[in-house]
Structure 1
Amino acid sequence: MSRLRRLRLPGDPDWDAASDAVSDAYFPHTLSPRVAGSTAADVDVGVTVLGPLRIARIGWGAEVAIHSEHPGAYGINVPLGGVLETCVAGHTVVSTSGLATVNPPDTPTDITRWSDTCTIVGVKIDRDFLVREVSRVTGQADAEIPDQLDLRAPEGASWFRLVRSIAAQPDDDPLLSNPLVAEQLAGSLTDAFLLAALPDDPSDRQMPRPRIVTRVLDALRADPARPWTAVDMAETAGVSVRRLQEGFREYVGKTPRECLTEIRLAAVHDELRTGGASSVTDVAMKWGFTHSGRFAAAFRHRYGVAPSQVLRD
């Protein structure tokens, strides 16, 4: 998380300056230090913005209380340590490492205890964007989002790994400033969150899974460079995202995303081997790879050599 864009505070910030910085990075709020004489000297705040979603890192360095109504967006607070005690819609949610508190939009919320050792990763998702993704992921018009998410469960852990991976991109990564890439990453993060937060829906168990798998694999092979999301693949199959993933696990032993990566790697390998490519980066981006480091590692794992070596040979 160290590559989140850190916001600069004055050399000797007071609580008002620190609160303003956090409001700009995450949500407007009212701040109340809980210990007399505490200072804002150790406040740490940074943010990565992806269109309708942003990822913030916030540490106050002192025990505080916060009031916010989270206007227009969901706020998912993940403590990296310490204790986060929140009164959400009249009842208390206590989150420590491995748990996340989900704050609904436009709802009075009080963090009654944000301990001095608690730094959070906060994920802010625009309400309308999340509602749209709920419909695409579940096929339902709405869904009840729980007030706490278990990040120790497989789907919760997978979502948080994705959050940290995206937030760890270099500050000057041009891809994050590309609106289309930002929207795609925001969609992937939101879909992964919904898969972790919402219960399974048995309504789409009827379609034979081999047909689901075949239909999606055919679509991926026909257009591997398309910026596929999990929702796009599920819509191609006519089932929910969760059902699609279960079908691939059962009949392929891999996720749809892993299959897409293999198809793209093969396309890159073939193009590099023909000798017509001028740049590994250009070819990788052409076939849908937006992260050069992960692409190079995946290519070497798959073919045992660096992509640049295939281009030279």
Structure 2
Amino acid sequence: MSQLQRLEIPGDREWDAASSAVSDAYFPHTLTPLNGRSTADDVDLAVTVLGPLRIARIGWGAEVAIHSDHPGAYGINVPLGGVLETSVAGHTVVSTSGFATVNPPDMPAEITRWSDTCTIVGVKIDRDFLQQEVVRVAGDPAATIPDQLDLHSPEGASWFRLVQTLAAQPTDDPLLANPLVAEQLAGSLTDAFLLAALPDDPADRLAPRPRIITRVLDALRADPARAWTAADMADVAGVSVRRLQEGFKEYVGRSPRECLVEIRLAKVHDELVAGTATSVTDVALKWGFTHSGRFAAAFRHKYGTPPSHVLRD
């Protein structure tokens, strides 16, 4: 069941208790403090759970080493500061701010140095869920995911912004506790990661773009309230997500997601003008808007007035 939660380690901290809490929140592991005089007093932990994906903020407040096999899931670790040195299959990856270390599932990994100033944002993605999305995004189940991701690239930066946005959502947000919404957000986040991590496939470039764009737009107009992900749209088009996005940019000048938002806004506007709606929030939710603030800003940008004014008029 999808859920959203935050965990904070309480007052009197010990290393065993801290390690156990992090194991429950992220991955089971073996912890070795590297400074015998250090304590667990400054451990920091928070976690957001979204169906097959979870986002954890972890800081030990001391230099440590970690061993984990990452059972059943990928672990993508993004240092917010400090240094993270990880060895997987004899290959060492050193990540600092602006880079992410990608740990494959079911494979022993040694974090030989997690510096005392290093707090990470870790993203745990279920192995089978990610592999399903690899096929939909890249069209190749054998696509190789690299062991490090550069967050300075446009795709990498976009993915990490989405990670931070979801991690910052309030714990009492009922929409994120909804299993369907959580699954959609997990899919969007996973697709964004794969677009940043996987190389472009030149074989995709021969797709007849105007035809696939028309096919997708027809599907969006037919069911705008559906919880569309980028991979869902690519399935309709019969191409990879990257190729679909490039086609929309070339022929439409907007992304598929931007086109979907415009279609949904028009539906909301029509219903508000017709006077059949009793609540802006209800009609926005009906047409697929799950974030009231972003919906209101998009509506005002497009129509020049808040949706509440259209409803009153």
Which TM-score bucket, shorter chain as reference?
over 0.9
Deviation at 1:10, TM superposition (A): 3.0
Aligned position for 2:35: 35
* Unmatched tracts of structure 2, length 5 or more: none
Aligned position for 1:96: 96
CA contact (8 A) 1:75 1:103 kept: yes
Aligned-partner Cα distance in 2 for 1:198–1:230? 15
Aligned-partner Cα distance in 1 for 2:8–2:231? 37
Aligned position for 1:117: 117
Instruction: Write the mapping of 1:178-257 to structure 2, written as runs, cut at 5 A.
Output: 178-257=178-257
Deviation at 1:204, TM superposition (A): 2.2
Q: Is it true that 1:288 corresponds to 2:273 in the alignment?
A: no
More deviation in 139-148 or 66-75? 139-148
Aligned position for 1:78: 78
Report the secondary structure of 2:175's partner residue.
helix
**1:243 partner letter:** R
Q: Write the deviation string for residues 23-76 of structure 1: whole angstroms up to 9, x where unpaired.
A: 011000011111121111111101111111100010111111111010110000
Deviation at 1:101, TM superposition (A): 0.1
Aligned-partner Cα distance in 2 for 1:187–1:164? 16
Aligned-partner Cα distance in 1 for 2:307–2:34? 55
Deviation at 1:256, TM superposition (A): 0.4
Q: Is it true that 1:259 corresponds to 2:259 in the alignment?
A: yes
Aligned position for 2:301: 301
CA contact (8 A) 1:76 1:101 kept: yes
TM-score norm. by structure 1 comes to: 0.96
**1:166 partner letter:** L
Deviation at 1:9, TM superposition (A): 2.0
* Unmatched tracts of structure 1, length 5 or more: none
Report the secondary structure of 1:67's partner residue.
strand
Q: Is it true that 1:279 corresponds to 2:274 in the alignment?
A: no
Deviation at 1:5, TM superposition (A): 4.3
Report the secondary structure of 1:19's partner residue.
helix
Fraction of identical pairs, as percent: 82
Aligned position for 1:17: 17
Deviation at 1:213, TM superposition (A): 1.6
Aligned position for 1:108: 108
Aligned residues: 310
CA contact (8 A) 1:131 1:142 kept: no
CA contact (8 A) 2:8 2:44 kept: no
Cα-Cα RMSD = 1.2
Deviation at 1:151, TM superposition (A): 0.7
Aligned position for 1:134: 134
**2:193 partner letter:** F
TM-score norm. by structure 2 comes to: 0.96
